Amino acid sequence: MEQFELTKEEWARADSIARELARDTDRNELGKVIAFFQRRQHDQKGKEKFLLLLERLPKSGYVRSNRTRDYLARIRDVCTRELRDVPSERAVAVLAWAFRKMTYYQTMAGQRTADARGRFRHR
């Protein structure tokens, strides 16, 4: 796996994604779509397939509730805007850091708490 450091602009994008989604989006839904993208990051059309998935998911029959549908729509909107001109292999890294930062922001805002065993719960 190729290692690289994010540019200043990529860090800003990761932070923007994290801050926007941390307010009212379940991070587990972001984690699921990132896992899909990670498996396709070396595919020439990996980012296109990822963005197509984000477009289709909120309308699909796989969504359990309207809340989940809203989470997926927010993820779609934010990722489409922030990752528009980021190459596929770098976009995966930006999203992975956004996920980590989102967890931090939700924890700091009291939206996530750890129990005695260190397991996090979403409030």
Distance of alpha carbon 32 from alpha carbon 54, whole angstroms:
11
pLDDT digits (tens, 9 = 90+) for 18-40: 999 999 999 999 999 999 888 87
Residues 52-56 have a mean pLDDT of 93
Q: What is the pLDDT of residue 55?
A: 94
pLDDT digits (tens, 9 = 90+) for 65-90: 889 999 999 999 999 999 999 988 89
Does the pLDDT of residue 123 top 70, yes or no?
Answer: no
pLDDT, the chain, mean: 87
User: Where are the chain's structural domains?
Assistant: 8-112
Query: How crowded is residue 34: how many other Cβ atoms within 10 Å of its Cβ?
Result: 19
Does the pLDDT of residue 117 top 50, yes or no?
Answer: no
Whether 20 contacts 78, CB under 8 Å: yes
Q: What is the pLDDT of residue 41?
A: 74
Q: What is the pTM of this model?
A: 0.83
Q: What is the 3-state secondary structure (H, E, C) of 71-120?
A: HHHHHHHHHHHHCCCCCHHHHHHHHHHHHHHHHHHHHHCCCEEECCCCCE
Q: What is the pLDDT of residue 4?
A: 75
Distance of CA 54 to CAs 22, 35, 63, 72, Å? Answer: 18, 13, 12, 7
Cβ-based burial of 75 (10 A; exposed 0-12, middle 13-18, buried ≥19):
buried
- Read off the tokens for 15: 């932070």
